[in-house]
Amino acid sequence: MARYLSKRPFRRGDLALAVDLAAKAAEHTDRGEPIVRALMTGLKGARFILPSPDTLERTGLAGRARARKAAAAAITESLSAADLTRLDELVINNADFGMTPLAWLRNFEEAPSAANINGLLERLRYVRSIGIDPAVGDTIPEFRFAQFVREGGVAPAFLLSDYSVNRRRAMLTAAVIELEARLADATVQMFDRLIGSMFTRARRGRV
């Protein structure tokens, strides 16, 4: 029947192709259902008889893991050795801050004051000195980079240290890019609020 329908059985030697199909789908999602659906579509297109649901599930998981690793590796490989060293230092306790640089960068005051805007500017200078080009994010699929941004934006330093080297560095890269934008926006907003309060006090003084 399979020969009559121009179908071929799925064998162990076909797993590499199946994982490739799953990994391609996982560039744009982490959800199991669309990954397995894309895998099934790809196998049907290649005239395979679909394997068991268990095999499809395990292949989908393997493809997702490959997509994650490939994205992290692509980010890491686009950075210089100096870039990587500065990223690694973000999760090491620093006596100057009394905490890790990453925790210090995240811990800033939002109330408008001269001292607080100086604190924002200090952090902005620090994060820019790391020298990560935001265009690094364009080297991988948008979904994967957005995931690194989400994970790197909330994971504490001690947890980041538990990840594989490439994944930790990819998450830190995304965190630095996101922090630079966030600190720049916070600085501009605080400056606007300070200027606004100065004008308000000046108007009151003329009354």
130 and 196 assigned to the same domain: yes
Both tokens of residue 146? 């957005």
CA 76 to chain centre: 12
For the chain, give the percent of residues with pLDDT over 90: 77
Domain termination residue (choose one: 76, 91, 118): 76
19 and 90 assigned to the same domain: no
Q: What is the pTM of this model?
A: 0.83
In a domain, 7, yes or no: no
Average pLDDT over residues 11-18: 94
Domain termination residue (choose one: 48, 76, 104): 76
Q: What is the tally of structural domains in the chain?
A: 2
In contact, 183 and 108? CB cutoff 8 Å: yes
pLDDT digits (tens, 9 = 90+) for 67-113: 999 999 999 999 999 999 999 999 999 999 999 999 999 999 988 89
In contact, 127 and 176? CB cutoff 8 Å: yes
Q: What is the pLDDT of residue 89?
A: 95
pLDDT digits (tens, 9 = 90+) for 125-161: 999 999 999 999 999 999 999 999 998 888 888 888 8
In a domain, 62, yes or no: yes
185 and 120 assigned to the same domain: yes
Check pLDDT > 60 for residue 4. Answer: no
116 and 47 assigned to the same domain: no
In a domain, 200, yes or no: yes
Q: Give the residue numbers spanning the domain of 48.
A: 12-76
52 and 118 assigned to the same domain: no
83 and 183 assigned to the same domain: yes
Domain termination residue (choose one: 61, 76, 91): 76
In a domain, 6, yes or no: no
Q: What is the pLDDT of residue 204?
A: 64
Nearest to 172 by CA among 76, 98, 81: 76
Check pLDDT > 90 for residue 193. Answer: no
Q: Which residues of 68-105 are buried (b: 16+ CB within 10 A; e: fewer)?
A: bebbbbbbbebbeeebeebbeebbeeeeeeeebbbbbb
